[in-house]
Structure formats: structure tokens, C-alpha cells
């Protein structure tokens, strides 16, 4: 399906002849004057892939006051001068009861069928209410050039501009916004968990209602300089008593892992125990995972990289306690493999166990939040450095461009470079 811009003729592509404040068509080639920017505006739209169709009422033909030959001569001239794909003419008066005279959408609808046009992604540009109404009835977005000659409008155009160039710019802006829509935080269904082990950073995120939970791990805790695991965990749980928090076991023998898991689970009702999918000898933790889940201990099975591991965990915990299945999408991406299709498949594999939720772990960039949301992933664990970029979501890209230019300029100046 293609997109089109439908254009009225007189007062849009060529100047209307104004008598007593009302627009009239040129009566012959001598009276035909193209608007100055018709060619440049249409060239820009053409370049963007729009089909360009002129749709024009010429009722004076039906009334017998203008010959069809004059109308055709003018149209041939327009067709030579402008990159139009078609010129549609209705030469009826109202009395004819035709389907093509604007405000009826007949000319637009027939061209749409012929050129396989998606009208919802198309536009109608006119200078009178009949143009706007025809565009609206056809399901196009409508743009009025000028003031409409003071005539009443049954419906408002989507945009009012003062030139064909401005109309083309508005259309291209709308078209780009549709094809590259800015994301919106309010539309996200995925739960964002903050991943970290620094108390101040965790509390900063706890203050934000859109952070729905927390995850930690021994690596982050070690980096944060934590030496007393339980004291840290109890301190955090006292400050964050009402959102899920995952704490990980740190043993390599399953007997000891189980002892730690049961102890950690007792710290609070909002605790999930992180169990790695294997120990360091590649021995499967599935038996332990099954036992804990079936004993009602909420789990977060971590360090998962393959779909087989996902399936095994789902089989082990099905019917048991709530379990996060934490797939390291970011680390998978670090190998050059696109994690999106793999994560989408993981979502499907969780379906047989409603007590499971998929975590997109180790995201590398803010975009991953939207990718994870788009495939129906339940949770994404995000570090604070990426979470800080959430304020960029929906930012105007031309403003961002300017900000970037200023950064280069200021840094160049600060460095005192000379050439």
C-alpha cells in the first residue's frame, strides 16, 4: 500500500482568479499561473514516495460556462510542469448528483483504488471547505492553505498553513512521526526492576513509583564494598519492605546453596532467592530449583543463556512458588547474537507455567526496555546508569542534535584547541 497526497487544483497548484473575494478557476492558459513553490513542494513529497493526485471540481463545464477543452489544456500544462501521477476532474454541477464532486470523496476513492493507496496514511490539501470535507470523508488527514475565503467549514482541517511549502513540511513531519513514532513511558507494560547493590542508589530508585522491584548479585555487592551480606540485606529490606527484591546464594555445593536459600528466603515475604542454573562445575541446579520451588520458596533462576535452560526451569518449577526466569539478554547480545527473537521465544516457553515471569537481564542500553516490552517480556532489570536515561524518552531529536553540537563546541573550547 502506498501513501498519497491529494491536491486541489485552483488555489493550491495554480493561483485562483479572485473576484469579489471568491476564488475562480483560470478560464484559459493565459490566466494560468502556477504558485511559485508548486514544483519544489511537490518534488519534496515525490521524493518521500507519495503518490501525487490532483482532484479538482470544475462545475463551470457542467454549467456550460467553461469548455472542457480549456480545462484539459490547463491540466496538460500542469501535468508537464509538476510531478503529478494523475489529475482527476469532476465537471459536474451539484444538480448532476454525481459521486465525484467534492465534498464527496469519489475522486479520492477511485484514485486510491487505482494506485493501491492507504488513505489513513494519506493527505488532502485544499483551499476551500469542499476539499477539507472530501479529504475527511475519504479518511485522509487534511490541510487547508489560506483562510478558506471566509466560508463556513463543516469540519476543521487537521492543519492550517499559508503555503504549499508549509503544507508539504507538515505532511512530511506527520509522516515521519507515524513511521518512527516516539516511544512513551506510559505505554510500557513491562515491570522495570533496578539492578544494583548500593543502598543510596536503591533508595533513589525506590522513590520512583515506576520501579517495581530490585535485584542484586554477589558481583554488584562486592563492587559496592559490602562485606556483611545479611546485615546489608536486612538493612535494605527494612527500607524496601513492599517491592520484590532478589538476593543470590553464593555457594558452589548444592547442599550449602540450599541452606543459604532457605535462610535468605526467611528474611522477608518480598524476597526471591537467586539460584544460578548450574554451579561452577557445570552441574545442573535443577533438582535444587525443583525442590525449593515446590517447597514454596520464591526463586529467581539466574545466569540463563539458552532456550533449553528456559524449558528445563519451567518444567522444574511448574505449579510451585513464583519464579523469575532470568535470561541474560545483554550478555547474549555481547556475543553478536540478536537477543530479541530468542527472548520472544523464551516468553512463549514460559506460557505453560503461569507462576513464572521472564526477566530480560543485563540490558546494555535504554532501547532494550522497549524491545523487551514489545515482545511481552515481564520484567527487565536495569542498572541505575541506564535508568537515568529514562528522562530522554520522547525527547525531540532536533533538540537533542543541538545539545550534542553544543557539547562538542564547549568541549573543544574547554580543551583550548588551536589549529
Query: CB-wise, 59 or 218, nearer to Mg ion?
Result: 59
Q: Which residue has the cell 512521526?
A: 177
Neighbour order of strands in the sheet with 86-90? 86-90, 51-57, 4-7, 123-126, 141-145, 159-161
Largest Cα separation within the chain, whole Å, is 100
The answer to whether residues 18 and 25 touch, using CB atoms and an 8 Å cutoff, is: no
What is the DSSP code (8-state) at residue 120? G
- List Cβ neighbours of 253 (8 Å cut-off, separation of 6 or more): 279
Per rule CB under 5 A, is residue 8 in the interface with Mg ion? Answer: yes
Q: Is 208 helix (H, G, I), strand (E, B) or coil?
A: coil
When the beta carbons of 11 and 244 are compared against Mg ion, the nearer one is 11
What is the size of the binding site for Mg ion (CB under 5 A)? Answer: 4
60 binds Mg ion (CB under 5 A): no
Least separation in angstroms between CB 11 and Mg ion = 4
Task: Give CA–CA dist 272/305, Å, rounded.
Answer: 20
Stretch 116-145 residues interacting with Mg ion (CB under 5 A)? 127
Which element (helix H / strand E) includes 236? Answer: helix 229-239
Residue 11 binding Mg ion, by CB under 5 A? yes
**Active site annotation includes 274:** yes
Q: Please, which residue, 10 or 133, has the CB nearer to Mg ion?
A: 10
Q: Does 91 bind Mg ion (CB under 5 A)?
A: no
Closest approach, Cβ 160 to Mg ion, in A, equals: 15
Determine if 320 is a binding residue for Mg ion (CB under 5 A). Answer: no
Choice among 160, 212, 223, 274 that is catalytic: 274
| Stretch touching Mg ion by CB under 5 A, among 4-12, 140-148, 288-296, 407-415 | 4-12
Asked whether position 10 contacts Mg ion by CB under 5 A, the answer is yes
Binding range to Mg ion, per CB under 5 A, among 9-17, 138-146, 341-349, 376-384: 9-17
- Determine, following the binding rule CB under 5 A, whether residue 88 of this chain makes contact with Mg ion: no
DSSP 8-state class, residue 16: P
CA–CA separation, 127 and 159 (whole Å):
12
List of residues contacting Mg ion (CB under 5 A): 8, 10-11, 127
Amino acid at each position: 500500500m502506498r501513501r498519497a497526497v491529494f491536491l486541489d487544483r485552483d488555489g493550491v497548484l495554480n493561483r485562483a482568479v479572485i473576484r469579489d473575494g471568491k476564488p475562480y478557476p483560470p478560464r484559459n492558459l493565459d490566466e494560468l499561473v502556477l504558485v511559485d513553490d508548486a514544483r519544489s513542494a511537490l518534488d519534496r513529497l515525490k521524493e518521500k514516495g507519495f503518490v501525487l493526485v490532483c482532484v479538482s471540481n470544475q462545475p463551470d463545464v457542467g454549467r456550460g460556462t467553461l469548455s472542457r477543452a480549456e480545462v484539459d489544456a490547463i491540466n496538460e500544462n500542469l501535468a508537464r510542469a509538476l510531478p503529478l501521477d494523475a489529475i482527476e476532474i469532476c465537471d459536474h454541477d451539484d444538480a448532476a448528483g454525481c459521486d465525484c464532486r467534492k465534498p464527496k470523496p469519489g475522486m479520492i476513492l477511485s484514485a486510491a483504488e487505482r494506485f493501491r493507496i492507504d488513505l489513513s496514511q494519506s493527505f488532502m490539501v485544499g483551499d476551500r471547505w469542499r476539499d477539507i470535507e472530501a479529504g475527511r470523508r475519504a479518511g485522509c488527514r487534511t490541510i487547508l492553505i489560506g483562510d478558506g475565503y471566509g466560508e463556513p467549514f463543516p469540519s476543521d482541517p487537521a492543519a492550517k498553513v499559508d503555503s504549499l511549502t508549509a503544507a508539504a513540511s507538515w505532511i512530511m513531519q506527520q509522516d515521519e512521526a507515524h513511521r518512527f513514532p516516539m516511544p512513551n513511558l506510559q505505554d510500557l507494560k513491562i515491570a522495570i526492576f533496578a539492578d544494583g547493590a548500593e543502598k543510596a542508589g536503591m533508595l533513589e530508585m525506590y522513590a520512583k513509583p515506576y520501579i517495581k522491584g530490585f535485584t542484586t548479585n554477589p558481583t554488584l555487592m562486592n563492587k559496592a564494598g559490602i562485606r556483611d551480606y545479611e546485615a546489608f540485606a536486612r538493612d535494605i529490606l527494612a527500607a524496601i519492605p513492599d517491592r520484590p527484591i532478589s538476593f543470590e546464594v553464593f555457594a558452589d555445593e548444592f547442599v550449602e546453596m540450599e541452606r543459604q536459600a532457605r535462610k535468605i528466603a526467611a528474611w522477608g515475604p518480598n524476597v526471591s532467592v537467586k539460584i544460578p542454573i548450574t554451579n561452577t562445575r557445570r552441574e545442573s541446579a535443577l533438582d535444587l530449583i525443583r525442590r525449593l520451588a515446590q517447597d514454596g520458596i520464591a526463586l529467581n533462576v539466574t545466569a540463563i543463556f539458552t532456550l533449553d535452560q528456559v524449558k528445563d526451569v519451567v518444567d522444574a518449577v511448574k505449579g510451585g512458588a513464583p519464579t523469575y526466569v532470568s535470561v541474560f539478554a545483554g550478555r547474549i547480545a555481547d556475543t553478536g547474537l540478536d537477543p530479541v527473537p530468542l527472548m520472544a521465544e523464551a516468553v512463549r516457553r514460559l506460557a505453560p507455567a503461569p507462576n513464572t515471569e521472564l526477566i530480560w537481564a543485563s540490558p546494555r542500553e535504554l532501547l532494550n526496555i522497549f524491545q523487551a516490552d514489545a515482545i511481552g517480556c515481564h520484567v527487565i532489570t536495569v542498572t541505575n546508569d541506564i535508568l537515568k536515561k529514562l528522562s530522554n524518552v520522547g525527547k525531540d531529536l532536533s533538540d537533542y542534535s543541538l545539545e550534542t553540537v553544543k557539547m562538542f563546541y564547549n568541549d573543544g573550547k574547554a580543551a583550548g584547541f588551536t589549529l
